[in-house]
Chain A
Amino acid sequence: MIHVKNLNITLGTFRIKNVNLKIKKGEFLVLLGPTAAGKSVIIEAIAGLVPIQSGQIIVNNRDVTKLRPEERNITICYQDYNLFPHMNVQNNITYGLRFKKDKHNPQYRKNFKELVKLLKIESILERMPLNLSGGEQQRVSLARGLIGNPDVLLLDEPLSALDPNIKATIQEELKNIHRTLHTTIIMVTHDFIEANYLAQSVAIVHDGKIIQQGKPEEIFQSPSSVFAAQFIGVKNIFRIEEPAELEFFGLTKPGYIGIRPENVYISLKPIKTDYHFQAEIGDIRNNQIYMEILCCNTRRDYLAYLTINRFFELGLTKGMTVYFGFNKKSLIHIHEKPVQDLKCKA
C-alpha cells in the first residue's frame, strides 16, 4: 500500500496543495490532468526527486518521506526515455542492479529474461540507444525500471512521445506487464482514453490538487466537478436551476448535468428517448473520424457526434430542423464537491 498524506510542495510560484493518495499494492493508478497541473511534480516527490514542504509518503508500511531517491526502491520512467547513451541496451537494463545489496540474487537474472521476453527486446540487447526507435527505447526504459523489483514504478507520460500505432502496442504491453508482474504503478497522463484503458484507479489533478479519485468507471460516470467532467470528454454541461427543469431532469437541488455528445441521438422524426427536444442544426464539423453536429434548441445548444455513415444517411444540412434526445442512463449528475472533502482523515 502506498499512502501519500497531505503532501505540500512549492516550486517557485507553483504549488502542490494538500495531496492525498491511497494506492493498493499491485494497483495501477493513473494521475490524470491537463499540462502543468502538477502530475509530474507529485510523482517526482514520491520518488524523492523534488523537495517537499510538508506531508508524508508511506510505501508498504515504510515511511520514505526523508529517504534519498536511491533508498526508496521507487523507479521512474519518463516520456523521453532517458536511456544512458553510452551503454548498450543490456547494460541500460541491468544498470540499477549493481547498486543493490543483493545484486547476485538469481531472481534478477530471472527478471531480466522475463522482461526481455515480455517486452520483445531479445534482438536488440547489444544495440546502443541511439540506434533504437521510440517504441524500442520505451520498452528498454520499462525493463530498466522493472528489473530490480521496485515497490512502485512511476511512469511520467510514457506514451505521449510515441506515434499512435506504437502507442497502442506499448499500451497493451504495459497492461500485460502489470497483469504478469503485479507491480504497483503510478502513471501520469493527460489522455483520459489511455487512463480508462490502463487504470484500476484514477486521480484527477487540477491546479496542484487532487480533485477526484476513484475507479475509472466511477469517475467517468460521476465526475465530481465541471472541470473533471470537461476533462473526461463531457461536452454538454449545463447548470440546472429553475424548478421546472430540476423536476424534468430529476434533480433535488440546483446543480450541473452533463451528456456525452456520443450519447445524443439525432433523428428526422420525433424520437423516443427519455429526454427529447426539437432543434435546428447550427453547425456541422467533419473531423474525418466522426461528425460534430451542433443542435440549437430554444433553451440550449447540444453537441452530438454522429458516424460519417449515419450523417450521410440522415442527409443533415445546416439550418435543418431535427429531433434529438438522450436517455436517463446517459445523464451525468455533476455534484461539485469542495476539494477538502477528499482530505485524508488518517
Chain B
Amino acid sequence: MERRLELLYILAALTGFIILVFNVFPILNTFYWTDWDTVKMTLTDKMVINSIWTSVKCASITTIISFFLGIPLAYYLARHEFKLKNLIESLVDIPMVIPHTVAGICLLTVVSPRSPVGHFLKTHNIEALGTEMGIVLGMLFVSMPLLVDSARDAFKWVPVRMENVSRSLGATHLETFFRITFVLSWRGILSGMIITWARAISEFGAVIILAYHPMTAPTLIYERFSAYGMKYAVPANIILVVISIIIFVVLRLVSLKGRQRHDSR
C-alpha cells in the first residue's frame, strides 16, 4: 500500500523540529561562546566545584526526601476517591504555579526567626537560612509535586484487582505494596525521581532567597554573570550543563534498562 503523507504528521514533524532546535541550540551555542582556557581554569576553581557539589548534594537529598514523603501520598491519591481529592491534588501542585522567587519569600516567612517555626528552629539550634537546609527546603518546595504526580500516575497503572488477588493469596497490604505495586510502578517512580532531581538542581529563585550561601551552581553562575559578565559565567555554566546531562543520561539509561528487562519477560 502506498504510504500517504498525513498533514497532521507533517505538522508534528515541523513543530517537533522547532522544539528540538529551541531546546538544544542554546545549550550547544554556549559551547561555541565559551573560552576553553577559562573553562580549564574554572575546573580548578574551588568555589565552582563546591557550588556544583552543593547543588548535586542538595538536589539528591531533596529527591530522597520527596521519595519518602511523596510515595505514601501518591499511593493514597491513586487508590482512593474522596470528596476533597481534587482540592488536595491542587494543593500538592500549587508550588508549580507559584513564581519561584515568590515561593522563596513564602518559605522565608515560615523559617525566618520572627515566625513561630523559625523561632522554634532557632531555639533548637537549627538554622534554615543561609544553610544547606534552606537550599533543600527551596528545592523541595518546587520539585516535590513532580514526584508525587509521577508516582501517582505510576500506581494508577497497576490494577487494583492485582492487589486484591495478592491480598486474597495471603499477602498483607504492605507486602502487596512492596512485592507487587511498587515493583510494577518502579519505572514511573524512577522517572519522577529523575525529573524531581533535575528540577531541584536547576532551582534558583526560591534557593537564592533562603540561602545565598552556601552557593549552589545556579547562584554562582548568576553572581559571576552579574559581577564579571558572560566570559566568567559561561564556563561554570558549561560545567553544570555537562554534569547535569551526564547524571540525567545515566539515570535515564538505568530506567530504560529496567524497562527493556521488564518488556522482554
Contact = CB atoms under 8 A, between A and B. Distances in A.
Interface of A: 44, 47-49, 68-70, 72-78, 80, 82, 84-86, 88, 95-96, 99-100, 128, 130-131, 141, 144-145, 148, 154
Contacts of A130: 263, 265
B252 to A, nearest CB: 21
B161 A78 contact: yes
Contact of B168 (A74, A80, A84, A86): A74
Given A82-B159, A82-B162, A99 B175 contact: yes
A49 B183 CA distance: 22
Q: What does DSSP make chain A's interface, helix, strand, loop or mixed? A: mixed
Contacts of A74: 168
Interface of B: 159, 161-162, 164-173, 175, 180, 183-184, 262-263, 265
Contact of A76 (B164, B175, B183): B164
B265 A70 contact: no
Nearest to A44: B164
Nearest to A96: B169
B170 A76 contact: no
Which 5 pairs between the two chains have the least Cβ-Cβ distance? Answer: A96-B169, A99-B170, A128-B265, A69-B167, A82-B162
B136 to A, nearest CB: 34
B172 A77 contact: no
Q: What does DSSP make chain B's interface, helix, strand, loop or mixed? A: helix
B164 A100 contact: no
Nearest to B180: A84
A86 B161 contact: no
B265 A86 contact: yes
29 contacts: A48-B167, A49-B164, A49-B167, A49-B168, A68-B167, A69-B167, A69-B168, A70-B171, A70-B172, A75-B168, A76-B164, A76-B168, A78-B161, A82-B161, A82-B164, A84-B180, A84-B184, A85-B262, A86-B183, A86-B262, A86-B265, A96-B169, A96-B171, A99-B169, A131-B265, A141-B165, A145-B169, A148-B170, A154-B168
Given A86-B265, A88-B265, 19 more contacts: A49-B167, A68-B167, A68-B172, A70-B167, A70-B169, A76-B164, A80-B161, A82-B164, A82-B165, A85-B262, A86-B184, A95-B169, A99-B169, A99-B175, A131-B265, A141-B165, A144-B165, A145-B168, A154-B168
